[in-house]
Copies of this chain bind each other. A is one copy, B any other.
Amino acid sequence: MQTGRVIGSIVSTQKHDSLVGLKLMIVQYVDGNQEPLPSYEVAADTVSAGIGEYVLLTRGSSARHVFGDDEHTNSAVDCAIVGIIDSFDK
């Protein structure tokens, strides 16, 4: 999984059915030392993450399966926020 920081969200009215009702957050990747990286991702939120919080991201089929209930078997999600990070312990 990757780590990032929530910096905003996107609004999309015309979108795939499986994205309806999901919070689509803009996340800036951070490295292992919580330094911001020059790369971003739009991630579907599953843990009510807020702006500025450090979060755990999962990608690919794992993100799709996180939304893998009957309704979203063919979810268009390929990245999801799956945790709010309390601390990086090193």
Contacts and interface: CB of A to CB of B under 8 A. Distances in A.
Interface in A40-90: 40-44, 46-48, 56, 58-66, 68, 73-80, 82-90
A73 B65 CA distance: 8
A55 to B, nearest CB: 9
Interface residues of A, number: 58
Most buried by B among A18, A39, A48, A64: A64
24 contacts: A1-B42, A1-B43, A1-B76, A3-B40, A3-B42, A7-B32, A8-B89, A9-B89, A11-B85, A12-B84, A12-B85, A13-B84, A15-B83, A15-B84, A16-B46, A19-B56, A31-B39, A46-B76, A58-B76, A58-B78, A60-B78, A62-B64, A63-B76, A65-B74
